[in-house]
Chains A and B, each alone.
Chain A
Amino acid sequence: MNALTLSFTLNGNEVSIEISPNTLLVDLLRDNLRLTGTKVGCRDGECGACTVLLDGTPVNSCILPAAKVQGRSVTTIEGLAHENGQLSEIQEAFMHEGAAQCGFCTPGMIMNSTALLEKNPQPDDQEIRESLSGTLCRCTGYRKIVQAVVTAGEMKKSQG
């Protein structure tokens, strides 16, 4: 198959790279660009560990052809910290609440939570649970993850 030149914005930077047209976004990120924070748990679009933001919307990068991001903006877990290197509120909140155990679902959870908080800075318990229901965690029982999203919302609010 002919190679394809893909140009898109990745974590705020312009990227242009030659890929094979059947490359999946997750493999482009992990193998070609060595951004391994995005995880692969199932390759079925079921577990949510591979969640990244495409123009701000969470997508499962394990079932998305990389060609689909042509000209668009992709954000991964590596791109969440503020420009001065300070972690985002949801990253801080995950540590504060003890929301990560094995940590394998954490990047996907944080990406989903980031999109939710962007849309709704003060989500209630049910909204959080619905937003995160596509991201599986086998360790935590979700309570501290839900709490971390609440805490991040409060941190954002207090920082105005």
Chain B
Amino acid sequence: MQDKTEGKQKPKDQQSGASEKNLVVAGQSVTRTDDPAKVTGGLMYGADYAHEGFLHGKILRSPHPHALIKSIDTKKAEALKGVAAVLTGKDVPGRNGFGAILPDQPVICEDKVRYVGDGVALVAADTEEIAHEALSLIRVEYEVLPAVFDPRDALKPDAPKVHEAGNLLSDNKLRKGDVEKGFLEADIIMERTYQVPFLEHAYLEPDVTLAVPQPDGTMLVEGPMQAPFTVRRNLAAVLGVPVNRVRARQIHMGGGFGGKEDSPIDIGCRAAVLAFHTGRPVRIALEREEVTLQTCKRHPMIMEIKIGARKDGKLLAFEGVIYDEQGAYAGLGPIIPPAGGSHIHSMVMMPGPYEIPHAKVDAYLCYTNHPYGGAMRGFGAPQVHIAHEQMMDELAAELELDPLHIRRINAFRLGSATATGQVLDQSVGLLDTLDACAESFGWEERFGQNEYVDAESCKRRGIGVGMGWYRTSIGTAGDGCGANISVHEDGSVLLYSGITEMGQGAFTVLPQICAEALGVAMEDVRLVKPDTDQVPESGPTVGSRSTTLMGNAIIMAAAQVKSSILEMASEMLRVPAERLEAKDRLVYDRDDTRKSLAFKEVAARCMATGKRLIGQGWWTPPAASLDPETGQGNPYFVYTYSTHMAEVLVDVETGEVEVTDYVAAFDVGKAINPKALEGQIEGGVAMGLGYALMEEVAMVEGIPQNINLQDYLIPTTLDMPDVKPIVLEVENKLGPYGAKGIGEMPNIPATPAILNAITDACGGRVRSLPADPEHVFMAIREAGGPPER
């Protein structure tokens, strides 16, 4: 059994500081706290809870992507035995609208539908079968309207209006330097257009929600959810009650990837409205097909790039246009304080992790009559990376440069200024990832060796590189995260955090940080699961923010308790508190380690004498900024960097692609749990591979065609190469033990690395995804046929 992991490596400069300080729990590959329940089938997911006594909620969706509702007849459905409620738009007690950022999606549509996932009536019944039958008895009369399915069409003056205010939801600009001047100085100017389709998250667990009216009038909503506080905020408005009359509790999630930021609001509001009317618990469990039809998707985009460079490869000017398709509702697209949207993130990231003196981006976010765009692992970054990373390769090819060389001379380094004018003043390990990846992959030896595998074969080998960066935190419009800690007289600890577990390992990494910060053992810490009645506001579990923001909040909370512990131990040991250290269940004198006490002994004395043993941490990143006219400022406080390299075999006769080798290097600041972090990398690469080669929600006249997992393909064991992760640690001075975010980064450079490898292998370039056999075959044909032998 050969372990291909390179493990942690030292970057060449910006050596880690705090991250190496004698850590006991943080930095260890601790077994995940939820593993025993997962491997025995004991872990309870939303669908696993007994639902005797629950009503079953179902949503009648529109068959048309754009139509006026002329009438709804619910009489027959209401008369059906076992039906407890049939609701239409007029029945929503408060605001008839929800949304993570802008509440523009009706809980139940009253006058108009804007996509085929729109709900026009809700049913609650004793069984799912009766609820289904009730839906079939509802008669809705529609007047079908002309629809719009392309963001460029949506901007035309005569386009059908999806919303009254017009189809342009957000129009954003980035202006740095003078691009015209840059293009005048350039030896070469190239223009390309890249296009990406809708993507489905395809989390394995279909959405489910339980709305349970409480005796005191509070509404409890439970289910898998990434953003309990956003769910609560929306529910309160929809029910017309104060925020403190709603309680949102997270049940362990079977995958989210950003999708379960929006969808629990959608079904949570609907279940709650049914529960409000019936006074009974209501359960809505979406079927797989409903998940695809109704919930958010990764935004499709059309991306135009004009790039200018010197003949040595140095970038001088970048001009980009993004037509970002929002679909029917705002979802997580636009920027409206206090929430940041994916659209701004796309704009900020579009010029790539490169120093470019002159940059200009125009980004249009447009409503259409398609399903709506939401967060999906990378939040607007994967799309633009597909554009700029292919552009870099196309430029390199035109200049006859090694794709690595052109990246190396332009890549961010310490002190670089981004396209928003942000000076990167710490934790910039991009070039370190390039070097480590190239060395491990053997780029120099392999580059230019693109050949047919043998004289008879129609398979040709190629390699490709993709570089990337990703923010930590929500940024742009503010972020903040709270944690509470209480230590008990026996030394045991409760950690209260609103960060959710969706498989990424937060319920393991956060207790690790807590144990390290207090000086106790991992098993001494019990995490109180996200429940808006119990945990402090923590923000959503998104934006690769959990480890860093919550980690910092935990360390702040721990510091408050620890000061009590050290003061008390100082009295007990008669040693100045400054000389004391708390580590691994002991409090001891650094200068004379024989002088020590058990942590629990000190905690017991604190409790007995009335010393504070609770801590409350609140961490806010440095203020973010972004000028609305120029797109200049510091939108996020730190970034994670990465380089990926892939080898592919392309069958030049069929267009089939096989990824045969893969190395992915990351600068993560500090790996708090290296094994869990590797898991993030390997899984992220799989998602990026799916984006490159097979994934697309195919739309025909606004209707998703491949709505189950038989037709919407995601990578299987046979599609995946043996990914080799490399982890570098360039300390983030603002992170817990030096850490920064990782969750979203791994899938971002994967897609362009594979696309670039395909071109290296077969000569054709797929600029409109996915690079499935048909598209690859056509690209080879456009390139003038397969390369000569």
Residues in A lying within 8 Å of B, measured CB to CB: 30, 34-44, 46-47, 49, 76-78, 80-81, 87, 91-92, 94-96, 98, 100-107, 110, 125, 128-130, 132-147, 150-151, 154
Contact = CB atoms under 8 A, between A and B. Distances in A.
Contacts of B252: 103
Q: Max chain A CB contacts within 10 Å: which of B34, B37, B39, B710?
A: B39
Interface stretch (B185-193, B478-486, B683-691): B683-691
Nearest to B677: A98
Interface stretch (B87-95, B500-508, B607-615): B500-508
B202 interface: yes
A100 B50 contact: no
List the 5 closest pairs (A to B, CB-CB), nearest first: A37-B41, A102-B503, A104-B254, A77-B41, A141-B682
Contacts of B288: 41-44
Given A102-B254, A104-B254, A138-B203, A110 B39 contact: yes
Nearest to B255: A102
25 contacts: A36-B47, A37-B40, A40-B206, A41-B204, A42-B288, A42-B708, A77-B39, A80-B40, A95-B35, A98-B678, A101-B679, A102-B254, A103-B37, A103-B43, A104-B203, A104-B254, A107-B41, A110-B39, A130-B717, A133-B717, A136-B714, A137-B683, A139-B255, A141-B723, A154-B1
Contacts of A36: 41, 44-45, 47-48
Contacts of A134: 716
A146 B714 CA distance: 18
Contacts of A110: 39
Nearest to B37: A103
Nearest to A49: B204
Contacts of A146: 717
Contact of B36 (A95, A139, A143): A95
Given A138-B203, A139-B683, A103 B718 contact: no
A147 B423 CA distance: 42
A143 B689 CA distance: 14
A41 B675 CA distance: 26
Nearest to B203: A138
B205 A41 contact: yes
A46 B678 CA distance: 27
Contact of B254 (A39, A96, A129, A135): A39
A147 B503 CA distance: 19
A91 B39 CA distance: 5
A159 B672 CA distance: 33
B50 A34 contact: yes
A150 B505 CA distance: 23
Contact of A41 (B36, B206, B715, B722): B206
B723 to A, nearest CB: 6
Contacts of A150: 1
A152 to B, nearest CB: 11
Q: Max chain B CB contacts within 10 Å: which of A41, A49, A87?
A: A41
Interface residues on B, range: 35 or more
Interface string B35-74: 1111111111101101000000000000000000000000
Contacts, number: 173
Contacts of A40: 47, 206
A45 B716 CA distance: 15
B503 A103 contact: yes
A48 to B, nearest CB: 9
Contact of B41 (A38, A142, A147): A38
B663 to A, nearest CB: 13
A142 B720 contact: yes
A100 B35 contact: yes
Contacts of A139: 255, 503, 679, 683
B544 to A, nearest CB: 15
A90 B117 CA distance: 41
B245 interface: no
A39 to B, nearest CB: 7
Nearest to B690: A138
B709 interface: yes
A44 B39 contact: no
A105 B206 CA distance: 12
Main secondary structure of the interface of B (DSSP, over half): loop
A73 to B, nearest CB: 18
Interface in B69-118: none
Given A100-B32, A101-B505, A141-B723, 11 more contacts: A78-B40, A81-B40, A91-B40, A94-B38, A94-B39, A104-B45, A107-B41, A133-B717, A136-B714, A141-B684, A142-B716
Contact of A130 (B41, B718, B720): B718
Nearest to A40: B47
A26 B31 CA distance: 30
B709 A143 contact: no
Interface in B661-697: 675-676, 678-679, 682-687
A40 B287 CA distance: 10
A146 B35 CA distance: 17
A26 B147 CA distance: 41
Contacts of B50: 34
Interface string B713-755: 0111110101100000000000000000000000000000000
B685 A141 contact: yes
Nearest to B257: A138
Contacts of A94: 35, 38-39
Nearest to B1: A150
Contacts of B36: 87, 95
A101 B683 contact: yes
A100 B501 CA distance: 13
Contacts of B714: 136, 138
Contacts of B716: 133-134, 136, 142
A35 to B, nearest CB: 7
B29 interface: yes
Contacts of B679: 98, 101, 139-140, 144
A128 B709 CA distance: 22
B253 interface: yes
B683 A141 contact: yes
A137 B503 CA distance: 11
A105 B40 contact: no
Contacts of A34: 50
Given A78-B40, A110-B39, A138-B714, A98 B204 contact: no
Nearest to B680: A101
Given A81-B40, A103-B43, A150-B1, A46 B709 contact: yes
A81 B504 CA distance: 26
Contacts of B39: 77, 87, 91-92, 94-95, 100, 106, 110
A132 B32 CA distance: 23
Contacts of A44: 288, 708-710
Contacts of B35: 94-95, 100
A142 B717 contact: yes
Nearest to A125: B722
A103 B676 CA distance: 13
Given A140-B686, A150-B1, A47 B717 contact: no
B683 A104 contact: no
Contacts of B503: 101-104, 139
Contact of A104 (B204, B505, B682, B708): B204
